Structures are given as C-alpha cells and as structure tokens.
Structure 1
Amino acid sequence: MASTNSQEVFIIGQTSEGRRFRPSDWAERLAGVMSQFRPDGDPPRLGGHLRYSPWCTPNNVAGVKCVIVHRDMQEAEPQAWDFVMNFARDNDLQIVDACLMPDAKPLS
C-alpha cells in the first residue's frame, strides 16, 4: 500500500470482482477478534470486554459491510495490523485508504 495521509483504511466487503463477501456477519466477526487490541490508556469500562476496539470497527458504507481500521494500530500492534490486512488480501477484499467524516449537521 502506498504512503497516505488518511487515518483509516476501509476493508470493503466486496471482492475485486464486485461480489459480496460472505458470511454476512464477517465484519462483526473480524472486529470481534480484534477487540482486544486497544490504545494504551483506553479506560476500562463496565462491559468493556463487549466493546470493539477503537482501532477496528465494523461499519456499513453504501449498503456494503466494511471494517474500518485505524492506522494507529499499525504502529502499536504491527502483528494485529498484518493479520487484518492479510485477511483482506487473502479474501480478495477491496482495501481503500479513506477517512471517516463527522456526521453533517442539517442546514437550517
């Protein structure tokens, strides 16, 4: 992957040929496996073992499941980063350098 200024990488649940990746809950499963990898100082919370890592979260973009992986994971947890990126490559999933935009406020 080329160097970029984006803070996140989106792993899109479509193959390079445009087919949807299965099973349908793949994004939640992958993010669940990665939930143990957290930034230092991430405060423990009640039910914290049931939270996704802020570095790897499932999402939905234009009706397609995806996992958003924050680049901070690459430096802090290189093996976890490699695992996620290799998962995407091994399954021929689309990988896009991008960034999350805050929700737009309605025009008044």
Structure 2
Amino acid sequence: MDDASANAPFIIRGITTGGARFRPSDWADRLAGAFAVIDPNNRTNYSPYVQPTTLDGVPCVVVDKRLKDADANAYRFLQTFARSNELQTENAD
C-alpha cells in the first residue's frame, strides 16, 4: 500500500455489491450517529473519525483511518457492518 492509499479514508457507500440502494435512506446518519455526541444545545456533533456524507448522490460514511489506532474495535465494527450488509467500500484494508 502506498502512502496516498494509507491516508485515504475508508468509505462505506450506500450501494450494495449487487447495485441496490441500501435502506433505510438515513442509514449513514444513523451509523455515524452511533459515534456522535449530543451537545447541551441538543445538536449532534459527529465524531471526527466517522462522518456521514453524500458522494455522487449516494449516502456514505467516511471513516478516518486514524480510528483504527484510536479505537480498533470501532473500526472493526464499521468494517463488519459494511461486509455483513454487502456494501461497496473504498480503501477498506
């Protein structure tokens, strides 16, 4: 693995390996929300390691690979989630 791919985020796409859209439509917010905190003003503050986003119109979760060092179990959980739901991934070493 080169330095660029080592630093590239692990991305979980809301498309299955068979090409179907993953449901529910807010799955990325829900998954990232499991790693978020709620502030005193009742706002969700997502972890800097696990962020929901939309790429090319597809809900995704972007995982900073530094999570692997910060919380290896959380990183493995996200890899397992993607694998068990047959979701497309990028940089999922």
TM-score when scaled to structure 2? 0.84
Instruction: Output the CA distance in 2 between the equivalents of 1:72 and 1:47.
Output: 28
1:64 aligns with 2:66: no
- Counting matched residue pairs gives 89
Identify the residue that residue 39 of structure 1 maps to in structure 2: none
Q: Deviations over 1:27-86 (max 9, x none)?
A: 0000000225xxxxxxxx764872000100000000000000000001110000011110
Listed as ranges, the gaps of 5+ residues in structure 1 are 37-44, 99-108
Q: Aligned to 2:91, what secondary structure does the other structure show?
A: strand
Contact kept, 8 Å, 1:6 with 1:97, in 2: the verdict is: no
TM-score when scaled to structure 1? 0.73
Identify the residue that residue 74 of structure 2 maps to in structure 1: 80
> Alignment identity in percent?
39
Q: Aligned to 1:80, what secondary structure does the other structure show?
A: helix
Larger radius of gyration: 1
Cα RMSD after superposing both structures:
2.2
